[in-house]
Structure 1
Amino acid sequence: MATEGLRALLHSVRYEVLPAKASEEKVLAHVPRDVVVTVTASPVKGLEPTLDLTTRLAGHGYRVVPHVPARLLRDDAHLKEVAGRLREAGVDDVFVPAGDADPPAGDFHGALPVLRRLGELGSPFARVGVTGYPESHPIIDDDITVQAMWDKREHATYIVSNLCFDPRVLGEWLVRIRRRQVELPVHVGVAGPVQRAKLLAMATKIGVGESTRFLTRHPSWFLRFAAPGGYAPERLLTRARDALTAPSSGVAGLHLFTFNQIAETERWRRALLDRLGG
């Protein structure tokens, strides 16, 4: 039964991509149209590359979910402009994190005010995602992150969990948020079959300032990738399978961080489905 549940999760995937120069070409070449594509946003480059790639991929028939970090929005007029452009492109799903821009670009310092404002604007998007943190946030206490999900529950329709490499921690987090009556479905964040050297190269391409923040805030990620035997996403999924597939966990699918290793991620997913008999 758990194997069937894992197959279902692998069919309900989202691929997170960065709006780099070759991203559109890679998605078109390797990602089936039934796979949701999410597009990140950079504190260094701003929202424009995200909006541009989102519009182009939506034009190719993909269901695209742009990241709209609160701290990249200048003001209310900017939020209205962004929402209008996305709706015009046919986008009906957005992911709204607080974001890492420091200082913020304008009036919004966190996700909740943006979520409330979207509601006041008539809820232009049918689906709205917010962030969950199975492993501790670098600067926010664990209880505060769970409380934040509770505060956002009336304005959001799902949670995307940040990366977690420990199946025990992931399972305990799912239990804890449900005990706190956070009932939104969860898309569990999992790193794809990324190679450490390529991850370091991608972090460098993101931009010097942002790359420094990336490395500083996530040193454990690189230790995981450098561990003996390397990192294998199927090991994490196998060990966390019971927690991920338990009906009480409310896991809706997997959110795969591709780090723009898009072809490798899709090959891995297909190969694992074949091994699972699906």
Structure 2
Amino acid sequence: MNVVSSEALPVPPHAVDTRLKERIAAFMRRASTEVTTHDESTLPQLADTLPRGTTVYVAHTPKAQFDDVLRVSLKVQAAGFLASPHLVARRLPSEAAVRNGLRMLSDAGITQALLVAGDRDAALGPYANTLELLASGVLDDCGLRALGVAGHPEGHPHVVKADLWQALRHKQAFADRTGIAVHVATQFGFDPQGVHDWAAQFEQHGIDLPVHVGIAGPTSVAKLLRFAIQCGVGASLTAASKNMKAFSNVARQGATPEEIVPALVRLGAGETAARIVQPHVFAFGGTIATANWIRAVRNEEFDLQPDGAIEVRR
């Protein structure tokens, strides 16, 4: 009698779909999201939508002050979330302000932050970039246990690729020296394969940091494209524009995350040995709409479509 290995048996399509749905939901259960300093009034509703312990970044938008970020971060933490304030190097007014602010955050139990350079032409205070802030020593013993640093899978409009890799090596060295758990939080994009390929290069560059992949949340096409242009997300838009179906998918309101998330999961995101460990969903000001979308996906309230996308049940 011939014995057929169970590994050789065909897997029923519905079983594959079930496992994929479970993997997508599990990936999204790790998702972080964001608020701005203008979103204080939404925090009670946000707390009713997402579970306690969800990481919520507090963005330092161009017109906000560092004190605004600190104030809203305290409120986010008090609402039951894990607040992760932006530390925008070029918008930090002084070393004393940073030390005092981080002490205030630590006293409230906030032990994580996201470090980015910022888009000011001239620095407000002593730090022109994130490497200067890391080198200053101000973050070494401030109570932070986790720190996100920026990643640019599609490159940066003003920084050559070699310098981006060098910057990540410096951030790896900071993590090794301080014991702070550093992760790479990427800009959002529309090319899952490109993000996967970029993360696959970490080892050859001597980098062993986990990746939190940026995903554009549900928003209007006008707002999405405006943010994409502002953030230098040009490569994937260019690629999409060469394919009318892909471009229309990017343009269709709400379609982007519903295509990007399953594509990333199919590429292995969220698996035990994967470099890409969780998503960060950009809200673009639509805090509650984004939170509702995250909740629906993490609760498996969606259907898999023939084209590989998911459709959230309304």
User: Given the two structures, how large is their TM-score scaled by the length of structure 2?
Assistant: 0.75
Cα separation, 1, equivalents of 2:142 and 2:96: 16
In 1, the alpha carbon distance for the partners of 2:303 and 2:205 equals 34
Higher helix residue share? 1
Equivalences for residues 39-118 of structure 1 within 5 A: 39-118=58-137
Look up the match of 1:20. 38
1:162 is aligned to 187
Partner of 1:206: none
Q: Match of 1:6?
A: 24
Q: Work out whether residues 46 and 291 of structure 2, in 8 Å CA contact, stay in contact via their aligned partners in 1.
A: no
Larger RCO, structures 1/2 (Cα 8 Å, 6+ apart): 1
Does the residue aligned with 1:96 lie in a helix, a strand or coil?
A: strand
Query: Secondary structure of 2:173's partner?
Result: coil
Task: Give the letter aligned to residue 115 of structure 1.
Answer: L
- The residue that corresponds to 1:240 in the other structure is 264
Mapped to 1, the partners of 2:47 and 2:25 lie a distance apart of 24
Contact 1:2 / 1:245 at 8 angstroms: preserved in 2? no
Cα shift readout 1:33-60 (whole Å, capped 9, x = no counterpart):
1311111102332212211110111122
Matched residue type, 1:269: I
Q: Give the Cα separation in 2 of the matches to 1:192 and 1:30.
A: 15
Report whether the alignment pairs 1:249 with 2:274: yes
Counterpart pick for 2:213 among 188, 196, 211: 188
Instruction: Work out whether residues 158 and 187 of structure 1, in 8 Å CA contact, stay in contact via their aligned partners in 2.
Output: yes
1:252 is matched by which residue type in structure 2?
V
Which of the two has higher C-alpha Rg?
A: 2
* CA displacement at 1:69 relative to structure 2: 0.9
> Which runs of 5 or more structure 2 residues have no equivalent in the other structure?
1-18, 176-181, 305-314
Distance 1:86 1:123, change over 3 A: closer
Partners in 1 of 2:247 and 2:48 — Cα distance? Answer: 31
Distance in 1 between the 2:122 and 2:261 partners? 37
CA contact (8 A) 2:88 2:115 kept: yes
Number of residue-to-residue matches in the alignment: 266
Give a deviation string over 1:119-172, Cα, whole Å, max 9, x none.
Answer: 675242111111110112121112211211111113242111111211121111
Quote the RMSD (CA, aligned, Å).
2.9
SS of the aligned residue for 1:176 comes to: coil
Task: Specify the alignment match of 1:258 in structure 2.
Answer: 283
2:124 is paired with a residue whose SS is coil
